[in-house]
Amino acid sequence: MLYHSTNHNSPIVNFKQATIKGLAPDKGLYFPESIPQLPKNFISNIDKFSKEEIAYTVIQPYIGDVIPKNELERIVAETINFEFPLVTIEENIFSLELFHGPTLAFKDVGARFMSRCLGYFVKDHPDSHRDKKITVLVATSGDTGGAVANGFYDVEGVDVVILYPSGKVSSVQELQLTTLGKNITALEVDGTFDDCQALVKKAFADDEVNKKLFLTSANSINVARWLPQQFYYFFAYQQWKDKDQPPVISVPSGNFGSICAGILAHQTGLPVQHFIAACNVNDVVTDYMQTEKYIAKKSVATLSNAMDVGDPGNFIRILEIFNKEFISLKNVLTSYSISDEETKSVVKNVFLNKNYLLDPHGAVGYIALKKYLQTHPELQGIFLETAHPVKFYDVVEPIIQQSVPMPAAINDLLKKKKQSIKMEVNYDAFREYLVAK
């Protein structure tokens, strides 16, 4: 498989080159030259396959021959060595729980896959990084930071620098990305996620920085983070009882990497009735789906902080899937914007009436799915529960007026001390830090 830039002004590369580069030289995102089609007997017999067999079959066409079969099987197995249960909430609504990995968030899948791919490339192909350590540069609005820190922790030949907006991630999220040390550095930026992402993009475009450091990204702009997110959509379908009526899938959406992976999976042959981009008040895509005009906005802080993105980087890939044909996209995707008031109300009501505790992001996905099913009552749907509620206990506990049970890993985490470097939104200062590092 080869990859082109969404800006169509960079050389074609293979998966290894796209993973190491992260961003294309013309500042576009890498996108597969063709979308592979899965064999129909794979889908019709999906109940017979293991999770590992499903994931390998899905990802292998995107990798080609740059990772040998036995290595790719190992990487896949290590990536998904936890559960992805589909839980009944109502007669026609199901929760796909994606928080059973090491950092209790859906981003564990992409981060674990990418870290193992990059570790393989660095270890076995030292020429790929010009005798320098690879520096993974990543901006986070919440869960990406912890997942990347955990996935890359102590990986030989790789340094990680994580930028996060000060005061705009939950206390658990902050501890997950600031307490590891070793090859993980956290920069606490006095700004928004969009400010953090802008600093990262400027660094990738800076020739002097790139002469001194070999940079790559671990945001979902990186193909090795983005593509494996298809796995959990296939795992959901394997557990889906009514194969004759595929589900509607509602995805809490911030930077749009997860829902883009789901739509890509659908294009390869995964049966899905419709997709819903569930947004908080950061509603640039919701507006686009109504007006066909994409206008980036300054992000607004909400209870569902990992979705506080005013200019979602992966939406360009969704447009690429549909060749920028708006009608084709509208046939597949609907978007709703959900307020904090609605989010709080549904967290409380579902907890009291359904005995199920939503995190603020899953709550947004649930509400958007309910809205869609009100006008499509004959259908059933899945929403993605993207993180364990304990990651947002400081938001959730006042709503339900009781404590969220603490997993042992979180209890241990709360005893650790945050280690971060504070930084203004100033590219010169950020650049100076990187070059000195």
Q: Is 282 a member of any domain?
A: yes
Q: Is 208 a member of any domain?
A: no
pLDDT tens digits for 334-370?
999 999 999 999 999 999 999 999 999 999 999 999 9
Helices 193-205 and 427-436, packing angle to 10 deg: 60
Q: Is 412 a member of any domain?
A: no
- Would you state the structure tokens that stand for residue 185, as one six-digit string? 């550095």
* Of 121, 116, 108, the residue nearest 155 (C-alpha): 116
pLDDT at 191 over 50: yes
- The CA distance from 54 to 39, in Å, is 12
User: Quick one: pLDDT band at residue 125, thresholds 50, 70, 90?
Assistant: low
pLDDT at 145 over 90: no
pLDDT tens digits for 306-316?
899 999 999 99
Angle ∠(24,30,35) on CA atoms, nearest 5: 160
- What pLDDT, on a 0 to 100 scale, did the predictor assign at position 124? 60
Q: Is 351 a member of any domain?
A: yes
User: Quick one: pLDDT band at residue 132, thresholds 50, 70, 90?
Assistant: low
Tell me which of 49 and 143 has the higher pLDDT: 49
- Helices in 166-230 by DSSP H: which ranges? 171-178, 193-205, 207-212, 223-226
What average pLDDT score do residues 94-109 get?
A: 95
The DSSP H or E segment spanning 328 is: helix 326-332
User: Quick one: pLDDT band at residue 241, thresholds 50, 70, 90?
Assistant: very high
Instruction: Give the helix, strand, coil percentages of the chain, each rounded to 5.
Output: 50, 15, 35
- What pLDDT, on a 0 to 100 scale, did the predictor assign at position 131? 56
pLDDT at 21 over 50: yes
Q: Is 181 a member of any domain?
A: no
Catalytic one of 21, 51, 107, 391: 107
CATH number at residue 355: 3.40.50.1100
Q: Is 435 a member of any domain?
A: no
Of the chain, the percentage scoring pLDDT greater than 70 comes to 98
In which domain, by residue range, is 315 found?
Answer: 83-106+226-404
- The CA distance from 76 to 60, in Å, is 10
**Chain position carrying tokens 């986070």:** 140
- What pLDDT, on a 0 to 100 scale, did the predictor assign at position 154? 87
- The CA distance from 107 to 307, in Å, is 13
What average pLDDT score do residues 368-387 get?
A: 97
- Would you state the structure tokens that stand for residue 390, as one six-digit string? 């304990």
What average pLDDT score do residues 192-197 get?
A: 90
What's the mean per-residue pLDDT of the chain? 93
Q: Is 321 a member of any domain?
A: yes
Q: Is 253 a member of any domain?
A: yes
Of the chain, the percentage scoring pLDDT greater than 90 comes to 79
Q: Is 21 a catalytic residue?
A: no
User: Quick one: pLDDT band at residue 128, thresholds 50, 70, 90?
Assistant: very low
- What pLDDT, on a 0 to 100 scale, did the predictor assign at position 127? 46
Q: Could you give the number of structural domains in the chain?
A: 1
pLDDT at 126 over 70: no
Range from 39-43, 187-191, 215-219, 288-292 carrying the lowest mean pLDDT: 215-219
* Of 409, 369, 403, the residue nearest 385 (C-alpha): 369
Predicted TM-score (pTM) of this structure? 0.90
User: Quick one: pLDDT band at residue 408, thresholds 50, 70, 90?
Assistant: confident
